[in-house]
Structure 1
Amino acid sequence: MKVLCLWYATDDEINYIKTALPRGTEVVAPQGGYFSRFDCAYLDVKHLAPDADAIIAFSVPEGVLELAEHLKMFSWLHSGVDDLRQMGTLSLFKQRGVKLANVRGANAVAVAEQAMMFVLALAKKTILKHKASQERDRLFPLYADEHRSAMLSGRTLGVVGLGNIGTRIAKHAKGFDMHLLGIRRNKGRPAEYVDSVHGMDELHSVLAKCDYVVLAAPNTRETSQFFGKAELEAMKRSAFLINVSRAMLIQEKPLYEALTSDRLRGYAADVWWTYEHGKTFPAGAGSRLNIHKLPNVIGSNDQSANADDVLQRNIEWGTRSLVEFATGKPLTREVDLELGY
Structure 2
Amino acid sequence: MILLIISSIAHIDEHLQNKLRNDFPENQFLFFSHPKEIESDVDALERTEILIAYGDGVSPEVLDVMPNLKWVHVLSSGLNLLPKAKLKSKETIVTNVKGIHAIPMSEYTISMILNIVRRNYHFFQLQQKNEWESWVTVEEAYGKTLGIIGLGTVGMDIAKKAKVFGMNIMGMCNQSQPVCEYVDEVVPKENMEYLLRNSDFVLLTVPLTSDTFHLIDINELNMMKKSAYIMNISRGNVINEEALIQVLKEKRIAGAVLDVFSSEPLPSDHPIWELDNVMVTPHAAGRTPFYMERSLDIFTTNLEIYPNESKMVNVIDLDKGY
- Give the SS at the match of 2:231: strand
Partner of 1:6: 7
**Shift of residue 16 of structure 1?**
2.0
Partners of 2:307 and 2:117 lie apart in 1 by 48
Q: Per the alignment, do residues 66 and 149 of structure 1 end up closer, same or farther by CA in structure 2, a change over 3 Å counting?
A: farther
Partner of 1:50: 46
Q: 1:239 aligns with which of 212, 228, 231?
A: 228
Q: Which moved more, 1:260-269 or 1:57-66?
A: 57-66
Partners of 1:329 and 1:125 lie apart in 2 by 48
Partners of 1:217 and 1:329 lie apart in 2 by 24
Q: Per the alignment, do residues 51 and 298 of structure 1 end up closer, same or farther by CA in structure 2, a change over 3 Å counting?
A: same
2:38–2:45 Cα contact (<8 Å) kept: no
Q: Per the alignment, do residues 47 and 16 of structure 1 end up closer, same or farther by CA in structure 2, a change over 3 Å counting?
A: same
Partners of 1:131 and 1:315 lie apart in 2 by 41
1:40–1:61 Cα contact (<8 Å) kept: no
**Shift of residue 122 of structure 1?**
2.5
Alignment: residue pair count: 317
Does the alignment pair 1:186 with 2:180? no
Partner of 1:103: 97
Partner of 2:197: 208
Partners of 1:340 and 1:305 lie apart in 2 by 20
**Shift of residue 323 of structure 1?**
2.7
Partner of 1:15: 18
Q: Per the alignment, do residues 38 and 149 of structure 1 end up closer, same or farther by CA in structure 2, a change over 3 Å counting?
A: farther
**Shift of residue 286 of structure 1?**
5.1
Larger RCO (CA within 8 A; separation ≥ 6): 1
Partner of 1:28: 30
Does the alignment pair 1:267 with 2:256? yes
1:292–1:298 Cα contact (<8 Å) kept: no
- Residue type at the aligned position of 2:19: Y
Does the alignment pair 1:293 with 2:274? yes
Q: Which moved more, 1:117-126 or 1:200-209?
A: 117-126
**Shift of residue 287 of structure 1?**
8.8
2:16–2:293 Cα contact (<8 Å) kept: no
Partners of 1:274 and 1:109 lie apart in 2 by 25
**Shift of residue 61 of structure 1?**
6.6
Partners of 1:287 and 1:247 lie apart in 2 by 16
Q: 1:151 aligns with which of 140, 156, 176?
A: 140
Q: Per the alignment, do residues 67 and 110 of structure 1 end up closer, same or farther by CA in structure 2, a change over 3 Å counting?
A: same
Partner of 1:41: 37
For 1:89-140, what per-residue CA distance to the aligned partner results, in whole angstroms no more than 9, with x for missing partners?
Answer: 2111111111100110012111111111222223333333212111112348
Does the alignment pair 1:166 with 2:155? yes
- Give the SS at the match of 1:208: helix
Q: Which moved more, 1:319-328 or 1:70-79?
A: 319-328
- Residue type at the aligned position of 2:190: D
Partners of 1:157 and 1:205 lie apart in 2 by 13
Partners of 1:328 and 1:207 lie apart in 2 by 38
Partners of 2:319 and 2:183 lie apart in 1 by 29
Partners of 1:18 and 1:202 lie apart in 2 by 50
1:76–1:318 Cα contact (<8 Å) kept: no
- Give the SS at the match of 2:123: helix
2:46–2:66 Cα contact (<8 Å) kept: yes
Partners of 1:286 and 1:197 lie apart in 2 by 37
Provide TM-score, normalisation by structure 1.
0.85
**Shift of residue 66 of structure 1?**
2.7
- Residue type at the aligned position of 1:57: A
**Shift of residue 181 of structure 1?**
0.7
- Give the SS at the match of 1:49: helix
Partners of 1:156 and 1:185 lie apart in 2 by 20
Q: 2:217 aligns with which of 204, 224, 228?
A: 228
- Residue type at the aligned position of 1:305: G
Structure 1 unaligned blocks of 5 or more: 31-36, 276-283
Partners of 1:289 and 1:230 lie apart in 2 by 23
1:55–1:73 Cα contact (<8 Å) kept: yes
Q: Per the alignment, do residues 286 and 98 of structure 1 end up closer, same or farther by CA in structure 2, a change over 3 Å counting?
A: farther
Q: 2:128 aligns with which of 124, 128, 134?
A: 134
Partner of 1:281: none
**Shift of residue 337 of structure 1?**
0.4
- Give the SS at the match of 2:22: helix
Q: Per the alignment, do residues 288 and 323 of structure 1 end up closer, same or farther by CA in structure 2, a change over 3 Å counting?
A: farther
Does the alignment pair 1:255 with 2:279? no
Structure 2 unaligned blocks of 5 or more: none
